[in-house]
A and B are shown apart, each in its own frame.
Chain A
Amino acid sequence: MICILIRDFAVTQERCLNPILSTTPLILVQAGQYRPKVIAMDTIARATGVTTGMTAKQSETLCPQAEILYVDEARYERMFMDVTCQLLDATNRIEPEYQATSAVWYTDDTLMVSYLVDAIRRVTEITPQIGIAQTKFPARVAAAVALSGDCITVPNGDETEFLSLYPTSLLPLDKLMTRRLPLLGIHTLGQLAALPRLSVWEQFGKHGRWLHDLAHGKDVRPLSPFKPSLQLREAQDFEEGIVDRLILHNTLEKLSLRLVKGLDGCVAYDITLLLHMKDQSLLEYHRQPHDPIRDALFLLRILTQMLAALPVHCAIQRLEVRLDNIQQRKPIQLSLFEENEPVQKLASVLPTWAYRHRGAQFYRLHLTGDKHLPERIIERQKVVSA
């Protein structure tokens, strides 16, 4: 298994969009929070002691010269998927994984690795780190600890020894284990691996048992190749740049007609409007309308609303509209008289809500029998989006 990783993907993307930031330290913080917390930072800011999870104020104190920006997760994820779609030209044995502002691709196609690295470098202007191992987790750790442009290979059978020195924070720990492992004096993967498997199972349950296996380098997760969803995009370039709203509206009308023609009887659930401005900046608006897009008039109305909501500060050089999440139109039972609303259950609509409002966290709660620890009374189960 080969893991290709770009650390600080979000930071580098911000720098690509705004080249002025290339020399200044950069810190990305949560958007819309009263006390925003640090999500990502560049190497200069990291060297001054800035870490993820600290407040923006704390990071500013540690690194006063840093530029602090709000994260735009949707944009980084879209850029990540764009890169992934370009990599699919080389091989279809790719599994992308977007992890909190860093970009990871797994592949088992050893012949195409050099091509993939070149392609990533060409598109993102960043040299990725590579980790090679028999399974996913050791490869991921190897890539994470490698320097930019380096490749670390973990020999088969040496996974436990290789992983033993690295901290447990590299594991996908849940809240309970994050709190309890340091209390038990377990700080490295080697210390966790040294524990008896049955004891870990008894203490931390199935999840703990799986993490114990990971600490030993045993990762049974197979590579699940990425299948891109159907996407439609239409764009219009303006060489001189344009600010006239009437012309923009007419352009949107043309693009809407072309996109709806391209839908060919299907419906789209996601719309993205991208405005490439004359000063090289990019304005982006993503929406998931309540009703799926199936006609040009409806699409035009939404696009007009989106355009009006964007803070257009200079001339637009390129107008791009994307339709994602395209699906076959679902049949509807027509009723001439009564509007019989379909009976829905809350559990069945929750994944759809979670998908439509991805900024919000939807939880189902479960009462556990254990009353000794406050965090154990209620177990939160995150609703997986549809």
Chain B
Amino acid sequence: MNQSSLDTVINTIHQKWGHRALQTANQLSKAQNTLTTGFDVLDQLIGGIPQQNITQITDRPTAGGMTVILRLMANAQQNEQHVVLVDRGTSFDGGYASNCCGVDVNNLVLVETEHEALSLDVLAEVVRSRIVELVVLNFMTVKSIHLDWRKILPVLWGSPTAVVILTRPQIVLPIASLRLNLIHQQWIKQFGDIIGCVSQVTIERNRYGGIEESVQLSIPFGKGYKYDLYPDP
């Protein structure tokens, strides 16, 4: 079959059944869209947080995982993207997110759920809507997760959403395309006050690149939470 007759057949199918009925493989392999994290070092390492995929960030408290995620949310909002935060632990600190990380809380939707299964249902709903570009799930208070993640995959494929899940290091999500582990290295101090921390970020799983690479990440805590809350008299 020559090219012209193939084109004729394809055109006929398109006219009869619509443009999505038949597609060539090169049309499907679109360039991977990513969201920038706001940390140049990290972006160079992982190439950004991939959309249509699940990214898992694991850390222990004080390693700066939540700050990295809040910076990611702030960056997404600066690019006029919609962000939804699903908080399992009801521990979202709006003051810190707004004052220190630049999150536009007026354009943030916060969802508090009682259990993980409900969080997954909400996630599926949000992803299916194709309105939201970034969904963050905070599972830091959860000790173990036993969920059927397979129902997310069909809705995630083709959507513009990047899903980021923050968990404890012992939790492994096999569905995650990218898994980053943050380990606290040292505090950043200025005049005796802690103004940030240095953490080592290691890629533990990456569907689109190499693994076991790591980088030192300086995570500043903005201007300092206390000073913003209680200004000098």
Contacts and interface: CB of A to CB of B under 8 A. Distances in A.
12 contacts: A30-B114, A337-B19, A339-B20, A346-B82, A349-B129, A349-B131, A353-B126, A359-B113, A361-B113, A365-B108, A374-B229, A378-B105
A341 B122 contact: no
Interface residues of B, number: 38
Contacts of B141: 34
B229 A380 contact: no
Interface of A: 30-34, 290, 336-339, 341, 344-346, 349-350, 353, 356-357, 359-367, 371-372, 374, 377-378, 380, 383
Contacts of B105: 365-367, 378
Interface in B16-50: 18-20
A360 B231 contact: no
Given A337-B18, A337-B19, A345 B131 contact: yes
B126 A360 contact: no
Interface string B82-114: 100010000000110011000001101111111
Contacts of A365: 94, 105-106, 108, 110
Given A363-B111, A366-B106, 4 more contacts: A32-B117, A290-B125, A359-B113, A378-B94
B129 A344 contact: yes
A356 B131 contact: no
Nearest to A380: B110
B145 interface: no
Given A366-B105, A371-B228, A360 B122 contact: yes
Contacts of A345: 131
A366 B95 CA distance: 11
A346 B83 CA distance: 10
A31 B118 CA distance: 12
A357 B114 contact: no
B121 A344 contact: no
A341 B106 CA distance: 27
Contacts of A33: 114-115
